[in-house]
A and B are shown apart, each in its own frame.
Chain A
């Protein structure tokens, strides 16, 4: 994604959203989970990354079609000693990013353990995306794309390769998971109204629900536009031809004068 587009997104972080989703990022230590997240939230590579301690949190709002989705992202430590801590964070996650390092075979072979944990501890509708990280190091590759893809298919998870260094495909896994979750919301399998599902409605979605159609949105924005036009009119009235046509001004009622100028302006 080009950076300009990202910039505009970043400034809109505080805006409304339709859904809020909780993700958890898991995988062996050193597979680049924090870097992947960092690239996703900051759009830059995180140099000299240390091992994550416990769990860390970040968030970002993404756009998927017409929907704005706020992602609350929980980055976990891959080290064994934090296992007992990180396991508690699976609860209430709607999506899981299962990250391995394509240049490290061990990080791939241990995946099933992570997946088992995730399936056991998280909600039954957990959407998993397998991410082969460090795709830029193709010459050091120890896990073939086809093999990982097969594993993903066998275990019913999505799969893609990404690079936190170059930023290739960094957004894709997050969006992929979001799309799957949206689909299961649409199919009714997942109910954002219920606590602990890992998904909830944002204010925007609520408004949409109550107002029967999206027209209310349109009308809302229209009133705002009217406001700005009004402001313009007042400006012209003060600075405009008051002095040039004083008699006409006084004889005409104010509103018709305004409409006259509206025409003039048009």
Chain B
């Protein structure tokens, strides 16, 4: 039992020993595990530390990255602002990209970059600034240059295209492109010149579609129409051209009408361009215009037509001066041809005047009326005056009006006066009975009547009037002598006038009472004749006014002479017996008063008595 017990105990011991062994092993394991765990923990701790560093690093890295990104965005912005992207460079330089919005945006941007660059680099503190600036400026300037080159080519091409149409119109792109290149404008100008020229020639020789309206040259036989049509065509072309150029340069039309005066204040470059281009485009037309007008002027025989042409040219000259300025080629050309036209006209009327002087009077023509030569001459003058009057605008002063026509009047009227005064002398010499004085007065009053209706002839009329006045005085003198002789009292009157009282008049042979008696009878007879009322000689005067004036002046003188005779006869020292009976025997019975009445000069009688 014991043994069994011992055996059992031994078995227990064995088993427990085994357990103990196992436990020991377990403990060893646990210790190992513990060590491992510790190690792991340390390991972990280490790792932890390491990762913390790593995290920190990562954080700083990401911060750095953000900074870099920020920098990048700034740089991108800077680049966007200060450099051109490829697209833009392409737009500016490539031939494939058409001119348009894109191009102009790129050009604008380049310009902006250059401005910004200048501003930015003006500030201090940037060490590398000048280098950057130079870089940017260099690259942009080469781009700009190419851009300009491109737009120049484009403008030239477009101008060549558009210039061909007679009526042109401008699109926005073109308007924006214009300020850029003057060479392109030269091209435009050349094309416009050619276009206007060919349209002008077409209008001259071919006319409108299928010949209607008819070509201008078809009316070359009608000088006024021919010249007028050409000038009107040019005028219309100018208006259209002006509109085209205004829209090309983007100038708002100033609402001015062509006829009114354009004010040439030097307001803008565009205005200068327009003027220059206008001048060039229209100037080309001057050559064909000038040739034709001069040819027309030269071939005119009628001085009236010459004058009309000159007037028309002058009208257009003034209009063009107002429209395109005095310095324009067309204005100077018009000026030139206007002068030529006036010269032709003056030559014509001067020749006419000379021809008039050479003309002779028909010696066998007893008429005292102005001769045909004068009538023709006056007719031309009258028409010229009509033209001149219609050419006046109405705002000229009288002085200006007169000045404008003085030369023509001098050239026409003076030879006429010269003609009938000198030629009549000649005729008078050969035909003494022909009444030269009346004839000259008739011619003068005819000329006056021609000039009178026109206000601008006043000065010439006054000069003529002076000539007339002297002639009238002369004729009055002659006439009064004539009627005194006719009336038979001339000798007696003369003696009365000369009588100095040295000898009684009744002793002088001419005024012996018997002679006086006869003379008074004759006078009485004459008084009952017709000549008292009207003189047959003076009735040849076409101007009734002059007739009356001269005749009355002569009658007045006669009355005074009669009065003198009466006074002398009544004087006792002249020793007439029965002086009152002598005078009273015949009409007007020694009553001067009555004589005035007979002559119809009552108004004067009271004064003279």
Binding site for B on A (CB under 8 A): 13-14, 16-17, 20, 22, 41-42, 51-59, 70, 72, 74-75, 80-81, 84-85, 87-92, 121-124, 191, 194-197, 200-204, 223-224, 227, 238, 242, 246, 250
Does residue B298 face the partner (Cβ distance < 8 Å to A)? Answer: no
CB <8 Å contact, B319 and A54: yes
Does residue B135 face the partner (Cβ distance < 8 Å to A)? Answer: no
Interfacial chain B residues near A122, Cβ < 8 Å: 213
Q: Which residue in B73, B167, B202, B203 is a CB contact (below 8 Å) of A200?
A: B167
Interfacial chain A residues near B69, Cβ < 8 Å: 246, 250
CB <8 Å contact, B239 and A57: yes
Interfacial chain B residues near A22, Cβ < 8 Å: 236
CB <8 Å contact, A54 and B315: yes
Does residue B312 face the partner (Cβ distance < 8 Å to A)? Answer: yes
Within 8 A of A (CB), among B98-155: 101
Interfacial chain A residues near B232, Cβ < 8 Å: 55, 85, 88-89, 91
CB <8 Å contact, A87 and B257: no
Chain B nearest CB, measured from A34 CB (Å): 9
A15–B160 Cα gap in the complex (Å)?
21
Tell me the dominant secondary structure on chain B's binding face. helix
CB-based nearest A residue for B240: A72
Does residue B584 face the partner (Cβ distance < 8 Å to A)? Answer: no
Interfacial chain A residues near B229, Cβ < 8 Å: 88, 91
Chain B nearest CB, measured from A18 CB (Å): 10
Interfacial chain B residues near A123, Cβ < 8 Å: 208-209, 212-213
Interfacial chain B residues near A75, Cβ < 8 Å: 257
CB-based nearest B residue for A17: B169
Does residue B250 face the partner (Cβ distance < 8 Å to A)? Answer: yes
CB <8 Å contact, A195 and B239: no
A53–B166 Cα gap in the complex (Å)?
27
CB <8 Å contact, A57 and B259: yes
Q: Most chain-B Cβ atoms within 10 A of its Cβ — which of A55, A89, A91, A92?
A: A91
Interfacial chain A residues near B209, Cβ < 8 Å: 123, 191, 194-197
Chain B nearest CB, measured from A236 CB (Å): 15
CB <8 Å contact, B208 and A224: no
Chain B, 299-320, contact with A by CB distance < 8 Å: what is the 0/1 string?
A: 0000000001000100100010
Does residue B396 face the partner (Cβ distance < 8 Å to A)? Answer: no
Does residue B415 face the partner (Cβ distance < 8 Å to A)? Answer: no
Interfacial chain B residues near A242, Cβ < 8 Å: 73
Q: Which residue in B171, B216, B240, B319 is a CB contact (below 8 Å) of A203?
A: B171
Instruction: Given A72-B243, A91-B229, A92-B213, answer yes or no on A14-B252 (Cβ-Cβ < 8 Å).
Output: yes
CB <8 Å contact, B259 and A14: no
Within 8 A of A (CB), among B187-225: 199, 202-203, 207-209, 212-213, 216, 224-225
CB <8 Å contact, A92 and B236: yes
Interfacial chain B residues near A250, Cβ < 8 Å: 69
Does residue B258 face the partner (Cβ distance < 8 Å to A)? Answer: yes
A84–B231 Cα gap in the complex (Å)?
12
Q: Most chain-B Cβ atoms within 10 A of its Cβ — which of A17, A58, A80, A195?
A: A195
Does residue B428 face the partner (Cβ distance < 8 Å to A)? Answer: no
A242–B199 Cα gap in the complex (Å)?
63
Chain A nearest CB, measured from B210 CB (Å): 8
A54–B311 Cα gap in the complex (Å)?
13
A-B contact pairs, 10 of them (CB 8 A): A14-B247, A16-B169, A17-B169, A52-B259, A59-B253, A91-B203, A91-B208, A92-B208, A92-B213, A123-B213
Does residue B43 face the partner (Cβ distance < 8 Å to A)? Answer: no
